[in-house]
Amino acid sequence: DIDDVGHKYYLELVLEDVLDKDSTVNCTAEVLYHLGSKNVAPDVQFTLEGELKNTDEADNVFYNQIKSLEKELVAENIPDSHGNVSPEMEPIRRLAWVASGYVIWQNSTENTKFHLAQIKRVKQVKRSDEYLEFDYMVLLHEMVSQEIIPWQMTVLWHPQHGVQVTQDSRQPKHASE
Amino acid sequence: IQLDFWLAPRGLGHPVDIRVPFPSLQPLKAHLESNGISYSIMIEDVQTLVDHEQMEMLRSRRGLPLSTNTFDYATYHNLDEIYTFMDLLVAENPNLVSKLEIGRSTENRPLYVLKFSKGGTNRPAIWIDTGIHSREWVTQASGVWFAKKIVQDHENDEGLAAILDKMDIFLEIVTNPDGFVFTQTQNRMWRKTRSKNSGSICIGVDPNRNWDAGFGGSGASGNPCSETYHGPYPNSEPEVKSIVDFVKSHGNIKAFISIHSYSQLLLYPYGYTTTPAPDQKELHEISEKAVAALSSLYGTSYEYGSIITTIYKASGGTIDWTYNQGIKYSFTFELRDTGRYGFLLPAKEIVPTAQETWLALKVIMQHTLDHPY
């Protein structure tokens, strides 16, 4: 507890590579939730004790694959109802995972626990520069309320410049469902 | 007389096969007998065979299994397929398994419970339910697997055989069929029942907030549009009321396990209050053992504890009610995973999930057997 400021948490984490369980990196972090925060994201500071794996090769393969598509990529329901993700969609899904991590951070309080539940729809947006742009409609599952929240995100990515969420907005739930 | 030759006359010494329409049967028999021609009946009633074949063809085209041995446990099934599975299981094991209808859902679907019993009358029993929250698909799928497992192991597995010698097992696989159908046809993420809420366009009540234990308190929502809406009053949902009625009239249920996903947790009461359950210590010890057994198979890690300290405050929950009814061994599971796929758990994880969970269930059932009360 920090009087008049908020609650600070000190964390020790282990980051594990999804594609290689034996590849881990230790991490320490400090998270400060601001008092009475409604629209303020928690402050996060972190230190990586080691290096993250180099992903240049996979990045370039993905980048070139998308760049060489004749028509803009469009896809729905990733994973599908049975949990399936086709191999071509795996990078699209990971990109959504990262981007939704940003959205979740921006919207988290001490009383929320979000996970990306599903990509409802993703549409690639044509750009004249080198960036790849994807317009995502995702479903976020909030554990405490158990709500499934549709969320739109506009995501930019470039092998050298990484991920950026340039726009995101919470969508209304369809009351009749 | 419209004889249909299936093997036409070829010459002396060769048999002739004829399909005979019913009205022609008598005249043909008379004719053959009066001419000293011997005959035998190969098929009594061709129509029966045709009907059976038709049914089998429909089944295999629609993917319906012909026996519980050809049923695919490693994939998700729809309601019809699961209800068919239940009937097959009963038909294959009539001395062990029976199917009970304990009520009807809001949309009038039957609520079925499988009873596994080696005999006796009103033996102390273990209750297991899956699928109370319809989007938690790995749970219904695991329930199907458990049903088959009980049948497979009831004689050769010492532990299970000992349990069934003294106790019955009740298993409700699709506890919320209306919601389940809705997840198949309209909205994969549907959680609640499908009852109409007066004064609101929003549908459904959270069946795990509708029980009479701390009902309406914080830890549930009074808003019909919310995923944790508790409903207008306790047991308003037929899916809940039918279990309440069953438990009360049975009167001899000794363990009650309600299965959810996801988060990988084993939980015991309470959810509606921070007051520890009187049997907290024992429940905690059982949980520790059950989780160890679960992890031993694939290394899946679970946390355990009371609902309110481990997950969140939840009022009107199932096992809080069953515990307060005197069912000491009341537990809730949250199965795989921890958020990577969440509700959309890949089908290839169904069997491993069911296998590891079964080990934990056996620990609970064994403890119940060893500690009668």
Read off the pLDDT of residues B176-205 as tens digits, 9 standing for 90 and up. Answer: 999 999 999 999 999 999 999 999 999 999
Average pLDDT (A115-130) is 96
Decide if A82 and B75 are in contact by the 8 Å CB cutoff: yes
**Pick from A84, A146, A173: CB nearest B191:** A146
CATH 3.40.630.10 boundaries in chain B: 59-370
Whether CATH 3.40.630.10 fits B59-370: yes
At B128 the three-state DSSP class reads: strand
Q: Within a 10 A sphere around the Cβ of A176, how many other Cβ atoms? A: 7
Say if CB B106 and CB B237 are below 8 A apart.
Answer: yes
Where helices occur in chain A by DSSP H, the ranges are: 56-67, 90-106
Q: What is the pTM of this model?
A: 0.85
pLDDT at A177 over 60: no
Q: Within a 10 A sphere around the Cβ of B78, how many other Cβ atoms? A: 16
Average pLDDT, chain B: 94
Paired residues of B111 in beta bridges: B103
pLDDT at B349 over 80: yes
Query: Poorest-confidence range of B9-18, B291-300, B344-353, B354-363?
Result: B9-18
**pLDDT tens, residue by residue, B15-71:** 888 889 888 898 999 999 999 998 988 888 888 877 776 776 666 556 667 899 999
pLDDT at B165 over 90: yes
B372 touches chain A (CB under 8 A): no
- Its ipTM equals 0.88
CATH 3.10.450.10 boundaries in chain A: 1-53, 54-176
Give catalytic residue positions of B.
334
Residue B57's pLDDT is what?
62
Q: Which of B178, B344, B348, B349 to mutate to test the interface with A (most CBs of A within 10 A)?
A: B344
Q: What is the CATH number of domain A54-176?
A: 3.10.450.10
At A126 the three-state DSSP class reads: coil
User: Which residues in chain A have Cβ-Cβ distances shorter than 8 Å to B346?
Assistant: 79, 82-84
B267 touches chain A (CB under 8 A): no
pLDDT at A175 over 50: no
- Could you tell me where the beta strands, DSSP code E, fall in A39-146? 43-49, 74-78, 114-125, 132-142
- The alpha-carbon gap from B221 to the nearest alpha carbon of chain A, in Å, equals 9
pLDDT at B101 over 80: yes
pLDDT at A176 over 60: no
Decide if A147 and B227 are in contact by the 8 Å CB cutoff: yes
- The alpha-carbon gap from B161 to the nearest alpha carbon of chain A, in Å, equals 34
Q: Which are the contacts of B268, defined by CB distance < 8 A and separation ≥ 6?
A: B277, B280, B283, B284, B287, B304, B305, B306, B307, B319, B323, B330, B331, B332
**pLDDT tens, residue by residue, B61-74:** 566 678 999 999 99
Q: From the options 3.40.50.300, 3.30.465.10, 3.30.930.10, 3.10.450.10, give the CATH code of A1-53.
A: 3.10.450.10
A175 touches chain B (CB under 8 A): yes
Residue B301's pLDDT is what?
97
